[in-house]
Amino acid sequence: MLMNPRVRFAPSPTGPLHIGGVRTALYNYLFAKKNNGTFLLRIEDTDQTRFVEGAEEYIIEAFQWLGIPFDEGVGIGGEYGPYRQSERKAMYKPYAEQLIRDGWAYYAFDTPEQLDAKRKEAESQKRTFQYDASTRMGMVNSLSLPAEEVAARIASGAPYVVRFKYPADLDIHVHDLIRGEVVINSNLLDDKVLYKSDGMPTYHLANIVDDHTMKITHVIRGEEWLPSAPLHVMLYKAFGWEAPQFAHLPLLLKPDGNGKLSKRDGDRLGFPVFPLQWRDPKSGETSSGYRESGYLPDAVVNMLALLGWNPGNDQELMSMDELVEYFSIDKISKAGAKFSLDKAKWFNHEYILQKSADELYPYFEPILREKGVTADPDYVKAVTDLIKDRLNFLTDFWEQACYFFMAPTEYDPQAIKKRWKENMPEYLRAILNILKGFAPFDKQQAHDAVMAYIQDNGLNMGQVLNSLRLAIVGAARGPELFTMIELIGVDEVVARTERAIEAIGDIHS
């Protein structure tokens, strides 16, 4: 049994959170809860050029909506804070200096133009330039320059970066809990920048220093970070720190399996890729969110949990408690997981069905309010029980339930043609008289009496009952007729039917 692991979700506030990021956070959360651990939120905002206004608030709101709480971090606090990297800025420099002192890093003064010239030169020889053991002595850095010059440059305030110094030709082993052993030779790796003279660390240095000082035991993150893992392993070694365990999650793929699910795919293919709607502060462009598209948060969580993991049996519907109970890293698959809109829809439908009318009411009340409808909560709940099996999305409510709140103003011409035959006004008026005879209304008795009338007069049951339905709903749809009449009320049914008779009239074929 693992002892109290500490895991983190470490987004950069560069825009809305992609559902791939939500899944990463969810797996971290499930792993922490399963093992009595701690789950923290760290905001990685060292790259000020990519900072986007409102992104951090968006991230926090998204997890609140999803019901994935953090134990520590931005917005919560904790003993390892601050949890926003920009507020930890002063902390990183001594670590960069330590690496230089110990021979694991060096100052580099190459200007962008010099680096560009090297790249162009390599390109002309059909090579790619790499800053590494084979090239670094030909560059402008503290390894190639005399010590006095290095000191003088730094003292004069010349801009510099600190680069990691990989040993030449070293096989670096990354132990990944999902992928097993991944080995890469240091000759294939670039001496990555760790720190810049503007006082900001890069992602790599800040990430490792923070994971270490925040006592992170497991780094569970997307596969796109696997190429950075050898550097991270080496940094732990250089600092003499024990590395956390790594688990790189499989990619979320487009529905057709061709490539990674991108931010642009969602609105192009008709489903959200963000938990909440996002409005870009610069362009004003809006991208759809699961919340606004009528998904329930627990359905989204359940659907995402299964994109890359399964409990080892066929169970698909799982509450958060069950997900926590069944979760384990060794059941995460290596292969990318295809997003499926049908599956997302299915999960949402199932979760709507599981919810009581009381639980659904807070979602439907604002829809009614927006339509200008005031209705008794008990009536709304009774309607909910009747129609919820027709909903894939919460936003389908009005489409499926509008006629319980408003008389139809149009009648489906197809249904008229098929059902509304000769003498229909006469038959419907007779039925209305029967219905009016039951006060208070008795569904079963009214049903039996109407059936008896239809039979005694040798009428076509489908035509008559569907014409009545057409008058009430405006179309040939809706739940069981007499249940509907009971809920809408006989007076209203009478009024609607009179209006339909007037609008459609008697048809003589």
Peptide bond into 297 cis (omega under 30): no
Q: How far is the CB of 73 from ligand GLU (least distance, A)?
A: 13
Catalytic machinery residues = 263
Give, in degrees to the nearest 5, the angle at Cα 447 between 444 and 451: 140
Whose Cβ is closer to ligand GLU: residue 85's or residue 384's?
A: 85
* Contact window for ligand GLU (CB under 6 A) among 7-15, 255-263, 417-425, 477-485: 7-15
| Helical ranges in 284-423 per DSSP H | 297-305, 320-326, 341-354, 357-370, 377-387, 397-401, 413-419
Q: How far is the CB of 21 from ligand GLU (least distance, A)?
A: 7
Q: How far is the CB of 258 from ligand GLU (least distance, A)?
A: 23
Which of 7, 10, 40, 304 contacts ligand GLU by CB under 6 A? Answer: 10
Q: How far is the CB of 219 from ligand GLU (least distance, A)?
A: 6
Peptide bond into 362 cis (omega under 30): no
Which of 225, 346, 363, 398 contacts ligand GLU by CB under 6 A? Answer: 225
Cβ neighbors of 145 (< 8 A, separation 6 or more) are 109, 153
Contact status, residue 419 vs residue 466, Cβ threshold 8 Å? yes
Q: How far is the CB of 220 from ligand GLU (least distance, A)?
A: 8
User: Is residue 398 near ligand GLU by the rule CB under 6 A?
Assistant: no
User: Is residue 302 near ligand GLU by the rule CB under 6 A?
Assistant: no
Contact status, residue 467 vs residue 424, Cβ threshold 8 Å? yes
CB count within 10 Å of CB 402 equals: 17
Write the binding mask 35 to 64 for ligand GLU: x where contact by CB under 6 A, - elsewhere: ---------x--------------------
Cβ neighbors of 395 (< 8 A, separation 6 or more) are 293, 294, 367
Whose Cβ is closer to ligand GLU: residue 15's or residue 425's?
A: 15
CB count within 10 Å of CB 73 equals: 24
Whose Cβ is closer to ligand GLU: residue 11's or residue 425's?
A: 11
User: Is residue 12 near ligand GLU by the rule CB under 6 A?
Assistant: yes
Q: Which of 37, 27, 28 is nearest to 2 (CA)?
A: 37
* Contact window for ligand GLU (CB under 6 A) among 9-17, 262-270, 293-301, 440-448: 9-17
Q: Scan residues 187-216 and list those touching ligand GLU (CB under 6 A).
A: 203, 207
Q: How far is the CB of 56 from ligand GLU (least distance, A)?
A: 12
Which of 6, 18, 165, 221 contacts ligand GLU by CB under 6 A? Answer: 221
Rounded Cα gap, residues 41 and 28, in angstroms: 11
Instruction: Using DSSP, state whether 408 is helix, strand or coil.
Output: coil
Contact status, residue 302 vs residue 323, Cβ threshold 8 Å? yes
Contact status, residue 96 vs residue 197, Cβ threshold 8 Å? no
* Contact window for ligand GLU (CB under 6 A) among 10-18, 174-182, 289-297, 413-421: 10-18
Size of the site for ligand GLU (CB under 6 A): 8
Query: What is the contact surface with ligand GLU in residues (CB under 6 A)?
Result: 10-12, 44, 203, 207, 221, 225
